[in-house]
Amino acid sequence: MASHAPVSIATQHNKAKTGLALRTDDYDQIDSTVRAVLRDVLGLSEARVAGFNAETPLFGALPELDSMAVAGLLTEIEERLGILIEDDEVDGEMLETFGSLVRFAAAKAPR
Amino acid sequence: MLRFGPATGPVAVVALPLFEEANRTRAFAVTICRALAKRGVASVLPDLPGQGESVVPLADMTLLRMREAMEGVEAKVGTVGRPYAVGIRSGALLNPLGLFFGRWHFAPQEGEDVMRDLLRIALAGNAIPSGSSIYALIGSNNPVVIAGNPISSAMAADLQGAMLYDEPGVPLRTVRLDTDPKPADRHVPGTPLWRRAEPDNDRILAALLAEDIADWIATCEG
């Protein structure tokens, strides 16, 4: 069972200090974390989520992703990335594609 | 109440999470209990008032009453064996009152985190108006039905201030999934089954946790 390490607290602090933009490897880590959360919350296979790209449609296209699952999905993303998502930020656009969800999470990640 | 394993010795008193997550983790908890029995450790899996087969409506429940019920289970188990609390997720909030010999928690949640989850599910399911805060749950005159579970304002208020038991001198062990960055005595690989809409099981994780519980109880027993 593959797992993905959360962004370490130390890394977050360093980024906060230096004010650096999100590095490519951090973005890759957020991408793989969001992928793992979709697998775990929706019960999708490893192969299926591995095939997701930025244009893969999510909300409305995955029958598993109902409003209850959205709640679980957001909470898991928050916990694993150490971010906070306000409920009024959640809209159809951020959940439209895999790419939009990763971009949303990356924008919330400490840098 | 389901019972597993030998009639004497230490007994793991297993608490399922509150509300919807109980349905999603029941089969998993039974698998852990069976794995404990194979290791010679007894366990019980009670339905507390408001849970599972209980005839008491959840709408009438508060966290305090559920904690008192768990204290009753502990007292009963304590007449035949040495009770240890095993709490899964918010089930870890249920054991502060009993005189347990020790507490073992898997992916435990503070009450505030439970309320945050409930609020989000209530908002996603349109159980409360969009833009509502937790006070829509704490201040409601009638129980708010969240994913099929009626949550009273008294339950919500109890939960918002509920903390995990952690007193010096009483053995406590916390295990979390390795995808969970919160501090723990051990992080293990596995699936967060409590997030799955369809109840599922993870036998490898259940076996690993049963081994951890059995080893830890053995250490506590000296």
Same domain, B156 and B179: no
CATH for B193: 3.40.50.1820
Q: Which of B116, B125, B181 sits opposite A67 (nearest CB)?
A: B125
B7, two tokens: 């009639």
* A3 in a structural domain: no
Whether B177 sits inside 8 A of A3 (CB atoms) is: yes
Same domain, B51 and B147: no
- Residue B126 burial (CB count, 10 A): 9
Same domain, B200 and B176: yes
Domains in chain B, number: 2
* A4 in a structural domain: no
Pairwise CA distance, residues B67 & B73, whole Å: 10
Chain A contact present for B17, CB below 8 A: no
* A40 in a structural domain: yes
Same domain, B156 and B180: no
Domain that holds residue A64: 9-108
pLDDT of residue A6: 46
Best residue in B118, B179, B196, B205 to probe A by mutation, most A CBs within 10 Å?
B179
Is residue A16 over pLDDT 50? no
| Summary count for chain A: helices (H), strands (E) | 5, 0
Whether A64 sits inside 8 A of B197 (CB atoms) is: yes
ipTM: 0.78
Q: What is the pLDDT of residues B130-144, one digit of tens each?
A: 888 999 999 989 999
Q: What is the pLDDT of residues B150-187, one digit of tens each?
A: 999 999 999 999 999 988 889 999 999 999 989 999 99
Same domain, B150 and B169: no
Is residue B197 over pLDDT 90? no
Domains in chain A, number: 1
Domain that holds residue B150: 111-161
Whether A3 sits inside 8 A of B120 (CB atoms) is: no
CA angle in degrees (0–180, nearest 5) for B105-B85-B151: 75
CATH for A68: 1.10.1200.10
Whether A36 sits inside 8 A of B120 (CB atoms) is: no
Same domain, B74 and B137: no
